[in-house]
């Protein structure tokens, strides 16, 4: 399966880069890149509790590829907040030498656009407001989403993917039952 070119900003378009859905064959390279970016400490973070036992939405997860090598990736996961079904974004990683070219932003935009096209209502994440607010994410009002562990409330961000997509979204964040 060939990688298709994605719409990218002017900065990344000159890098001979393609963005496409993550393929099963990409998983090892993506996992290794995430390990390099975040180290083993990532397993202690609350975000990992929302990925454990979950099934990645590979159709909504993307890789950035240059010269046949994965240089960036973003993953989306199905999630429940109370009774509301949505998406959980993360991790997102870009190889060190490829940072500062807008690749992370392009990956975020591609994943969010794909989630909206798939009819999902909202996406949320735990992350840096400065990185995600240019992509339409806002801080979740304190206490609206309860996480399965301690987290800085200022780092819980969300974005509606459909009109009214955040209406009634409140409660405990948890992995949906699959099957």
Cα-based angle 176, 178, 179 (whole degrees, multiple of 5): 150
Output the six-digit token pair for 145.
Answer: 């989403």
For residue 43, the model assigns a pLDDT of 64
State the CATH architecture for 10-174: 3-Layer(aba) Sandwich (3.40)
For residue 1, the model assigns a pLDDT of 27
Q: How far apart are CA 39 and CA 35, in angstroms?
A: 5
Q: Above 50 in pLDDT, residue 11?
A: no
Name the CA radius of gyration of the chain, rounded.
16
Banded model confidence at residue 35, pLDDT cuts 50, 70, 90: confident
For residue 15, the model assigns a pLDDT of 65
Give tens-digit pLDDT for 106-161. 999 999 999 999 999 999 999 999 999 999 999 999 999 999 999 999 999 999 99
Q: Above 80 in pLDDT, residue 78?
A: yes
Q: Domain spans of the chain?
A: 10-174
> Which range, of 44-58, 76-90, 130-144, averages the lowest pLDDT?
44-58
Whole-structure pTM value: 0.87
For residue 4, the model assigns a pLDDT of 34
């Amino acid at each position: 399966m060939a990688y298709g070119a994605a719409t990218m900003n002017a900065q990344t378009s000159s890098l001979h880069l393609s963005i496409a859905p993550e393929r099963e064959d990409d998983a090892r390279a993506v996992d290794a890149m995430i390990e390099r970016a975040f180290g083993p400490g990532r397993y202690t973070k609350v975000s990992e509790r929302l990925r454990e036992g979950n099934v990645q939405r590979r159709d909504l997860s993307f890789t950035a590829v240059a010269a046949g090598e994965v240089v960036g990736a973003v993953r989306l996961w199905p999630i429940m907040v109370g009774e509301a079904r949505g998406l959980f974004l993360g991790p997102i990683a870009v190889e060190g030498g490829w940072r500062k070219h807008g690749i992370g932003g392009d990956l975020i935009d591609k994943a969010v656009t794909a989630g909206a096209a798939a009819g999902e209502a909202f996406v949320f994440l735990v992350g840096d407001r400065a990185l995600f607010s240019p992509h339409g994410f806002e801080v979740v009002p304190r206490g609206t989403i309860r996480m399965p562990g301690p987290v800085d409330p200022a780092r819980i961000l969300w974005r509606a993917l459909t009109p009214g997509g955040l209406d009634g979204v409140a409660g405990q964040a948890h992995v949906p039952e699959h099957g």
